[in-house]
Chain A
Amino acid sequence: MHLTKEEEQILNGEHGETLQKAIEILVALGDIYDADGLIPIKSAQIAGVSYKTIGDAGLEWISDLEGEVKVPAILNPAGMDLENWNEMDISKDFARKQQEIIDAYRKLGVNTKCTCTPYYLEGFDTEYGDHLAWSESSAVSYANSVIGARTNREGGPSALSAALIGKTANYGYHLDENRIPDVSITVECELTGSDYGALGYQTGMMVGNRVPLFHLKNTPSSDELKALGASMAATGAVALYHVDGVTPETQNIGFEQPSENITIEADQIQEVYNTNSDIQNSDEIIALGCPHCSGDELEYIAQLLDNKQVDRDVWICTSREVADKNSQIIDRIEKSGAMVVCDTCMIVSPASENYNMMMVNSGKALNYVPGMCKIPSKFGSIMDCIREAGDNNRNNKN
């Protein structure tokens, strides 16, 4: 791997121990994946934030670092709403440790907004062709596929290292040759809304870490693409996909048809909706916003909740910045009794473990809830979820 003179100096420890460790990590990964050198990045997004996932081990490592990030860097969701954690049934001990993790990142100059959708936030505008070091699998998929930016799926330490150095190793999805689709997926039925999460749930398992090229009957919205990519990154390891005629690289580069083709039929989409659908559980939580809701999704949820009162716990997960920009929509949602939860989500918060069942509109959450929250999950559209939350009309209770 070729290093510049300055990079060599950092590697030799001439710029301090933190930067030395950081560049050692980047160089080690570069060596493993045969990178030719380091390339500058526009931003970093760092996983390893929830105390539930990184524990004392991660907290200790981050706390021991010194210095300041060189590019805008932002965090993945934390284990709790950083402002309203006491409404979430979070223990004081957990809250204290979580805050220590956030403070340790802040000390390094990291923007401590915690979200899996950094592309909605100011200062993280991402454009076609930008090189990034992002961690969160759905954000990686969105950046690569929907925006046409370039990032590998970084681990927590490597994303933080990239932020401290301002560079990442040039391998994987930074290179043209690894962005070519190698399997084609033809969907035979019409899709809408959460169907895209169901499609991703099924196809992620089939394609593993390959790059699929979809042929769809509909033109999906960016929120639908977000759901598709998030699910595929969860049930598989898909970091980049293309949708013929929709995602930018199919138009700007153009690809040959891969030799292998998978066909998806309506019953395979329906199968996802059938998961645990026969189980009714009184201690159920309904959780939307995996990945974090966009402003459009919040508006749609608010419309469905207008004049309704929910009869069970409902979480709407989003980033604090998107919530702050849409405060009137948030008020409408919360009038129904649903709770808008910021900085965290149903997967990484220990509060999810207080329920016996979770209904979600996300293929990613459907996949992770049983393992991470130790409860079964079931799947529906946003409308199905709101219906399940209670049909009571606030002004006309029968």
Chain B
Amino acid sequence: MLITGDSISFLGNVDPETGIVVEPGHELYNKSIKDKVLVFPQGKGSTVGSYVLYQLSKNDVAPAAMINIESEPIVAVGAIISGIPLVDKLDRDPYTLLKNGCRVKIDGSNGCIEIKNYNHQN
């Protein structure tokens, strides 16, 4: 799991060949989103970002799943065309429940997540 409080513009912020965040100043700068459950508030920027998610997926460097506070069209459309499970509007705030390295099971069809190693101290 990879968590950021920064929004992501897939066009420009992420290298479609490697899945590495290339935007200096982004909280995830230099980190790879490949195979991660990527938690971010929402997408932003160019609508071409939807296609970049598709390209990440074709290059096998896409996130395994995505969790948003509230999805907007760029990421929602990108997730569908790439077959990446996406959930949003969870009943509880993912930023208080989840931490980097958490293991979760995502059910994109029903919009819910199951936390495998929940830390009760949170």
Q: List the interface of chain A (C-beta within 8 A of B).
A: 21, 24-25, 28-29, 32, 47-48, 53-58, 60-61, 155-158
Residues of B within 8 A of A55 (CB): 48, 51, 55
Q: Are B54 and A155 in contact (CB under 8 A)?
A: no
Q: Are A155 and B81 in contact (CB under 8 A)?
A: no
Q: A21-B81, A58-B51 are known contacts. Are A155 and B73 too (CB-CB below 8 A)?
A: yes
Residues of B within 8 A of A25 (CB): 76-77, 80-81
Q: Are A29 and B73 in contact (CB under 8 A)?
A: yes
Residues of B within 8 A of A21 (CB): 80-81
B50 within 8 A of A: yes
Q: A21-B81, A25-B80 are known contacts. Are A155 and B74 too (CB-CB below 8 A)?
A: yes
CA distance A60 to B58 in the complex (A): 9
CB distance from A30 to the nearest CB of B (A): 11
In this complex, how many residues of chain B approach chain A with their Cβ under 8 Å: the count is 18
Residues of B within 8 A of A155 (CB): 47, 50, 73-74, 77
Report the nearest B residue to A33, measured CB to CB.
B73
Q: Are B77 and A58 in contact (CB under 8 A)?
A: no
CB distance from A38 to the nearest CB of B (A): 16
25 A–B contacts from the bound complex (CB under 8 Å): A25-B76, A25-B80, A25-B81, A28-B71, A28-B76, A29-B77, A32-B73, A47-B47, A53-B46, A53-B48, A55-B51, A55-B55, A57-B51, A57-B55, A58-B48, A60-B58, A61-B51, A61-B54, A61-B81, A155-B50, A156-B47, A156-B51, A157-B77, A157-B81, A158-B73
CA distance A155 to B51 in the complex (A): 11
CA distance A24 to B79 in the complex (A): 10
Report the nearest B residue to A61, measured CB to CB.
B54
Max count, chain B CB within 10 A of own CB: residue among A58, A155, A156: A155
B16 within 8 A of A: yes
CB distance from A121 to the nearest CB of B (A): 24
Q: Are B50 and A157 in contact (CB under 8 A)?
A: yes
CB distance from B28 to the nearest CB of A (A): 20
| Proximity bits, B45-61, A CB within 8 Å = 1, else 0 | 01110111011001000
CB distance from B32 to the nearest CB of A (A): 18
B72 within 8 A of A: yes
Known: A155-B74, A158-B73. 10 other contacts (CB 8 A): A21-B80, A28-B80, A47-B47, A48-B48, A53-B48, A56-B55, A57-B48, A61-B54, A155-B50, A155-B77
Max count, chain A CB within 10 A of own CB: residue among B58, B71, B80: B80
Max count, chain B CB within 10 A of own CB: residue among A48, A57, A61, A156: A57
Q: Are B48 and A54 in contact (CB under 8 A)?
A: yes
Q: Are B77 and A158 in contact (CB under 8 A)?
A: yes
Q: Are B72 and A32 in contact (CB under 8 A)?
A: yes
CB distance from A233 to the nearest CB of B (A): 14
